[in-house]
Amino acid sequence: METSNRKYPLERIRNIGIIAHIDAGKTTTTESVLYYTGKIHRIGEVHTGDTQMDWMPQERERGITITSAATTCFWKDHRINIIDTPGHVDFTAEVERSLRVLDGAVVVFDGKMGVEPQSETVWRQADKYHVPRICFINKINQIGGDFYKSLGSIHERLGKNATPIHLPIGFEKDVNGLIDLIKMKAYTYTDFHQDHLVEGEIPKEYMEKVKIYRTLLMERVVEYDDSLMEKFLNGQDLSEDELSLAVRKATLSGKFFPVTGGDGRGVPVTAILDAVVSFLPSPLDRSHYEATDTSGKSMELLTPNKEKKTSALAFKIQTDPFIGRLTFVRVYTGSLKNGTYVLNSTKGAKERLSRLVLMHANQREEINELSAGEIGAAVGLKDTATGDTLCDESTPLILENIKFPDPVISLVIEPKTKADRDKLGEVLKKLVEEDPTFKLGSNPETGQTLISGMGELHLEIKVDRLKREFGVEVNTGKPQVAYRETIKSSVEQEGKYIKQSGGHGQYGHVFIKLEPKGRGEGYEFINKIVGGAIPREYFPAVEKGIKEVMESGVVAGYPVVDFSATLFDGSFHEVDSSELAFKMAAHEAFRDGMRKANPVLLEPIMKVEVISTDEFMGDIIGNLSSRRGRIEGTEIRGNAKVISALVPLSEMFGYATDLRGMTQGRASFVMEPSHYEEVPQNVVEQIKTKKG
């Protein structure tokens, strides 16, 4: 088996992710890839709990991927770094951070279901980071599996530019190979666990369909190469090499998506591997990465090159039970070397790389150096968090960070014993470091510890890990909705904090303007003090005062979001002014101003899709409406009907049980956070009463 230490030229490296909706067969496809590249000796099965990439006990029990696992394998003299990402919406941060550092992706679709809700989410995330991708329609050899129907749903929901490079031979259980539209050859198998696909001639009965789809493929890809466009328009056929080059150029543009299909449990994945090395980008193809200097001003375009000064992005923190804190990094320029120091330019701190490792799921391989274009993990970085830039001290720069969604659900947790209490804080800190969508807080009224995340499963897994990995037992309360508050009007407000007693008094005096911002735009502090009305050293104290009050707003005591606060005037006293006085003045100005600025309560709205048969449609729609749901539409997907709705999260607790009862256990649903929306006034009163 090939060792990972061999150095590959950049053009022969592929950093790819495998992304999909839950249950599309993503982990199984990755297992097959590892088997056919000689990385493992048998293919693990999700349902028997022996997969390499789903290595956490919680993943093996539930048959789902929770954490993105990284591995390295080799195919046709190329090195492929793969990240297998979760498909469940609660773990969307794992997909987000992986796509930020990857060059390409394979999107896996369930051939029985076509495009599902999380397929759309991961597709949008890949669009956001301009990640070129290949589509793999999986499970087409199973009952209900249909390559062409699934292709139609990709065209309808994701884009017309997804075009087959392979067509399946056979239908459902009779699928036994594929036709390569570029090479114009058939590749078949008699057992999908055999060593390789067998090359042969295209069966005559497929020639008509092949001609149609090959012409369509040429039409789509010649747009990306002028000389081939001319040749095609003049009625000339393209050679295999010309068409292959055109498909590569089109795929690298990020606007064209080659499609293949098969069974991810066996030899058809070799066709995916061929497509990965032929069409997905090397680090050189994604050659320009934006960077700013540490003040956030000048833009610099980086090109991957080992000889340049070092720049790398930390994209994941993981606590390893054997070696402690692991920081996953993607190196963009230069290299990271064992035992050397680097600058964390995001934090302005020097860090020592005590060891470097390549990861294969939860196993490690020690290496001396990580070069431009490579992905690995570092041991010894104490202050580095997800999204931080590591670089050479002589040329500090900052790479584009990773933005994560805010949590929508909270849970009160209490340690069971004094020993648990002593360990809990430290362990929770580790879990927060690992997961940017997992937040820690406390209930201001009761002082209880609150954990917040993306969904009930997300928090359930964290509580399970507390017990299993760290030996901390906790009791949990009922899930709570992460409400938010905001303002709808602009207001100017004065705040004064003046205390006179013996000796020094306190004097702080500010004028702030509060203005609403668009949903999801966050908070911004703007300083417009001119002429020294307030000395510069008190500006941070004013912002600190505002931030402290933001934690619990005036409607029902929830955090305040989506507004700007502008400090535009004030006064100070030479002797009595202090940071504390200005912080307290800002407290008062913000709280009074918010009360006048038409404050409202916001709630998370979930995008819900219910999959059912026709007979239960009326009951399901009626039930969703009774939960303040807005029905967005219904559609037929395979043999099932799908209802799409937007429903407040607060109304979705217990829905799984209700749906089971309503449909004799024959319906299922998925939901993901959509947006925040204003809570109706009658519901606000109920929330206040409950909280009180």
For the stretch 357-369, pLDDT in tens is 876 645 677 888 8
Task: Tell whether 465 and 501 lie within a shared domain.
Answer: no
Query: Residue ranges for the binding site?
Result: 20-27, 84-88
pLDDT at 68 over 90: no
> What CATH number corresponds to the domain at position 554?
3.30.230.10
404 part of a folded domain? no
544 part of a folded domain? yes
Task: Tell whether 202 and 349 lie within a shared domain.
Answer: no
Q: What is the mean pLDDT of residues 30-37?
A: 80
Tell me the per-residue pLDDT of 171-199, one tens digit each, with 9 for 90 and over. Answer: 888 888 999 999 999 999 988 788 889 99
Query: Residue ranges for the binding site for GTP?
Result: 20-27, 84-88
Work out the pLDDT band at 3, boundaries 50, 70, 90.
very low
Cα–Cα distance measured from residue 40 to residue 656, given in angstroms and rounded to the nearest whole number: 38
Tell me the per-residue pLDDT of 523-561, one tens digit each, with 9 for 90 and over. Answer: 999 999 888 889 888 999 999 999 998 988 888 888 899
Task: Tell whether 190 and 240 lie within a shared domain.
Answer: yes
Q: What is the DSSP letter of 296?
A: S
Task: Tell whether 218 and 235 lie within a shared domain.
Answer: yes
Task: Tell whether 41 and 151 lie within a shared domain.
Answer: yes
Q: What is the mean pLDDT of residues 39-47?
A: 43
3 part of a folded domain? no
180 within 8 A of 166, measured Cβ to Cβ: yes
Task: Tell whether 268 and 304 lie within a shared domain.
Answer: no
470 within 8 A of 464, measured Cβ to Cβ: no
> Crossing angle for the helix pair 117-128 and 92-101, nearest 10 degrees?
30
360 within 8 A of 31, measured Cβ to Cβ: no
pLDDT at 39 over 70: no
DSSP bridge partners of 389: 313
pLDDT at 514 over 50: yes
Tell me the per-residue pLDDT of 452-462, one tens digit each, with 9 for 90 and over. Answer: 887 777 788 88
Q: From residue 684, give the alpha-carbon distance in Å to each of 205, 411, 690.
A: 65, 20, 10
Domain boundary among 551, 580, 597: 597
Could you tell me which residues come within 8 angstroms of residue 61 by beta carbon, excluding any fewer than 6 positions away? 49
Task: Tell whether 107 and 135 lie within a shared domain.
Answer: yes
Domain boundary among 478, 507, 530: 478
pLDDT at 54 over 70: no
Q: What is the mean pLDDT of residues 558-565?
A: 92
Number of Cβ atoms within 10 Å of the Cβ of 294: 14
Cα–Cα distance measured from residue 573 to residue 417, given in angstroms and rounded to the nearest whole number: 51
Work out the pLDDT band at 685, boundaries 50, 70, 90.
confident
Cα–Cα distance measured from residue 349 to residue 370, given in angstroms and rounded to the nearest whole number: 21
Tell me the per-residue pLDDT of 495-505, one tens digit each, with 9 for 90 and over. Answer: 999 887 666 78
pLDDT of the residue at 60: 38
Task: Tell whether 138 and 214 lie within a shared domain.
Answer: yes
653 part of a folded domain? yes
pLDDT of the residue at 53: 39
Q: What is the mean pLDDT of residues 294-318?
A: 74
357 within 8 A of 376, measured Cβ to Cβ: yes
Max CA separation in the chain (angstroms) = 102
214 within 8 A of 237, measured Cβ to Cβ: no
pLDDT of the residue at 58: 42
Residue 561 CB burial class (10 angstroms; 0-12, 13-18, ≥19): buried
Higher pLDDT: 222 or 455? It is: 222
2 part of a folded domain? no
Token code pair at residue 220: 């789509």
DSSP letter string, 373-396: T-EEEEE--SS--TT-EEE-TTS-
Domain boundary among 399, 426, 441: 399
> What CATH number corresponds to the domain at position 350?
2.40.30.10
108 part of a folded domain? yes
Report CA dihedral (623, 626, 629, 634) to the nearest 10 degrees: 30
pLDDT of the residue at 63: 39
DSSP letter string, 59-109: HHHHTS--S-EEEEEEETTEEEEEEE---SGGGHHHHHHHHHH-SEEEEEE
> What CATH number corresponds to the domain at position 467?
3.30.70.870
For residue 585, give the 3-state DSSP assignment.
helix
Q: From residue 379, give the alpha-carbon distance in Å to each of 249, 335, 365, 387.
A: 38, 15, 12, 17
Cα–Cα distance measured from residue 154 to residue 175, given in angstroms and rounded to the nearest whole number: 21
DSSP bridge partners of 483: none
> What CATH number corresponds to the domain at position 630?
3.30.70.240
532 part of a folded domain? yes
Number of domains in the chain: 5
Task: Tell whether 45 and 175 lie within a shared domain.
Answer: yes
Phi/psi of residue 264, nearest 5 degrees:
-70, 0
104 part of a folded domain? yes
Tell me the per-residue pLDDT of 271-281, one tens digit each, with 9 for 90 and over. Answer: 999 999 999 99
Task: Tell whether 72 and 139 lie within a shared domain.
Answer: yes
Please compute Rg for the chain using Cα positions.
28
Give pTM, 2 decimals.
0.69
The residue assigned the tokens 């989410």 is 121
The residue range of the domain holding 537 is: 485-597
pLDDT of the residue at 445: 59
pLDDT of the residue at 342: 92
Q: What is the DSSP letter of 114?
A: B
Could you tell me which residues come within 8 angstroms of residue 46 by beta carbon, excluding any fewer than 6 positions away? 27, 28, 54, 63
Task: Tell whether 114 and 230 lie within a shared domain.
Answer: yes
Task: Tell whether 327 and 384 lie within a shared domain.
Answer: yes
285 within 8 A of 10, measured Cβ to Cβ: no
Phi/psi of residue 352, nearest 5 degrees:
-105, 130
> What CATH number corresponds to the domain at position 207?
3.40.50.300
